Amino acid sequence: MQERIFLSSPTMHGEEQMFVKEAFDTNWVAPLGKNVNELEREMAAYLGVGHAAALTSGTAALHLAIKLAGVKAGDKVFCSDLTFSATVNPVSYEGAEQVFIDSERDTWNMDPRALKKAFENYPDCKCVIVVNLYGTPARLDEIRAICDAHGATLIEDAAESLSATYQGRQTGTFGKYSAISFNGNKIITTSGGGMLLSDDEAAISKARFWSTQSREPFPWYQHEEIGYNYRMSNIVAGIGRGQLLHLEEHRQRKEEIYRTYEAGLRGLPVQMNPYPADSRPNFWLSCLLIDEDCAVTPEQIRLALEKENIEARPIWKPMHMQPVFADRAFVAVESGDGVGGDIFSRGLCLPSDIKMTQEQQAEVIRLIRAQF
């Protein structure tokens, strides 16, 4: 059996070990140190955002973002519906309630029209979490304007979209608070980790304080708030510094993979995942959407690839269709399970690993074509 072709797996280069070695050699093996400080500084500079807090995961960053937004038990929070559960779980950590907002067809992300409708239904909502799915920016300007008009705080989940830009500006800079992830499958990885981003220096200081168990500045351990153990380790941050040197190269390779699928699947009754004209996605995952009147199913393609040891994956199952969120509201412009439900039923994430060779991708395309 041939070597497995992954959806998206870590790609290391060597510089990572240099930063990790320095941490070892100086015994800075703790959730603090030079790599943590430098990774925060380097990432903030790369993105063009004021401040960054390095954390144990993107989920931790989203959790602290929700706390900073002042979300309290019983509050409603508008969330992208078509996403990974990590976007929306932290709302439950704070005892608040998700209201899921459907996607639009031409970005697969939160539909500004559905968001407006949600504010008509729940005018008191004070927080919105928008995701940039598979590395494609949402209509962040429109969504930001709708939030501003309703006095709601925008949290941007840029976990999948690091290095993507919208109207020339990096994703992860549109939210009052934004989160990125360095999980193993993301465009760059630290094995696990994440970052909270904001222009608000006091907010980022507060996040660092919470992430290190809310220790007040006393000689003894004094606690006046509940804390968390969310701070990134100096070892992990070293991996991140090495990876950041290759972020742009990873993005280019991801785009090449997307373009190769686009050309290779031409003529079939399928579309590639769409993106707004005024954006530059990071093409984290290439996805296809099978035309409505076609009998071929995504599962059929997935299984045909799996048989050849090639990993493909269904589109994220929308949050309003998840048993754990069965009692939550869903706001959509279309009826039934909305646009997200339709994309879930007809879409498939294709292998988008940057170590995949041209020959391997040609084989993936050949196998897909053989299904039609």
Query: How is the beta sheet containing 347-349 ordered, strand by strand?
Result: 270-272, 287-290, 347-349, 313-314
For residue 32, give both structure tokens.
């603090």
183 vs 282 by CB, closer to ligand PLP: 183
One of 35, 87, 98, 153 touching ligand PLP (CB under 6 A): 87
Binders in 139-158 for ligand PLP, by CB under 6 A: 157
One of 91, 154, 159, 196 touching ligand PLP (CB under 6 A): 159
- CA gap 371, 348 in Å, rounded: 14
Site string for ligand PLP, 304-323 (x = CB under 6 A): --------------------
One of 10, 31, 33, 58 touching ligand PLP (CB under 6 A): 58
- CA gap 293, 181 in Å, rounded: 37
Site string for ligand PLP, 169-208 (x = CB under 6 A): ------------x-x----------x--------------
Identity of the residue numbered 182: F
Closest CA to 137 of 159, 112, 166: 166
One of 38, 40, 156, 160 touching ligand PLP (CB under 6 A): 160
Q: Which residues contact 222 (CB under 8 A, 6 or more apart)?
A: 215, 216
CB of 255 to ligand PLP, least distance (A): 19
80 vs 265 by CB, closer to ligand PLP: 80
144 vs 186 by CB, closer to ligand PLP: 186
- CA gap 137, 164 in Å, rounded: 7
CB of 300 to ligand PLP, least distance (A): 26
Instruction: Work out the end-to-end distance of the chain between its first and last CA atoms, rounded to an integer number of angstroms.
Output: 24
91 vs 368 by CB, closer to ligand PLP: 91
Count, residues near ligand PLP per rule CB under 6 A: 14
79 vs 265 by CB, closer to ligand PLP: 79
CB of 13 to ligand PLP, least distance (A): 21
Residue 247's CB: how many other CB atoms inside 10 A?
A: 16
Binders in 237-296 for ligand PLP, by CB under 6 A: none
For residue 167, give both structure tokens.
């109207």
92 vs 371 by CB, closer to ligand PLP: 92
- Residues forming a β-bridge with 66: none
For residue 75, give both structure tokens.
């509050």
Residue that the structure tokens 């709601």 belong to: 152
One of 8, 35, 83, 109 touching ligand PLP (CB under 6 A): 83
Regarding 134 and contact with ligand PLP (CB under 6 A), the answer is no
CB of 163 to ligand PLP, least distance (A): 14
Contacts 24+ apart (CB under 8 A), 249-254: 250/11, 250/163, 250/187, 250/188, 250/354, 251/163, 251/164, 251/187, 251/282, 251/283, 253/354, 254/135, 254/187, 254/282, 254/283, 254/284, 254/286, 254/352, 254/354
**Region from 56-64, 246-254, 321-329, 349-357 binding ligand PLP, contact rule CB under 6 A:** 56-64
CB of 370 to ligand PLP, least distance (A): 30
86 vs 305 by CB, closer to ligand PLP: 86
**Region from 68-76, 84-92, 197-205, 296-304 binding ligand PLP, contact rule CB under 6 A:** 84-92
150 vs 176 by CB, closer to ligand PLP: 176
Residue 30's CB: how many other CB atoms inside 10 A?
A: 12
CB of 224 to ligand PLP, least distance (A): 27
Alpha helices in the chain (DSSP H): 15-25, 34-47, 58-68, 89-93, 112-121, 140-149, 201-211, 234-244, 247-264, 298-307, 338-346, 358-369
Q: Which residues contact 249 (CB under 8 A, 6 or more apart)?
A: none
**Region from 32-40, 80-88, 106-114, 120-128 binding ligand PLP, contact rule CB under 6 A:** 80-88
List interacting residues with ligand PLP (CB under 6 A): 57-59, 83-84, 86-87, 131, 157, 159-160, 181, 183, 194
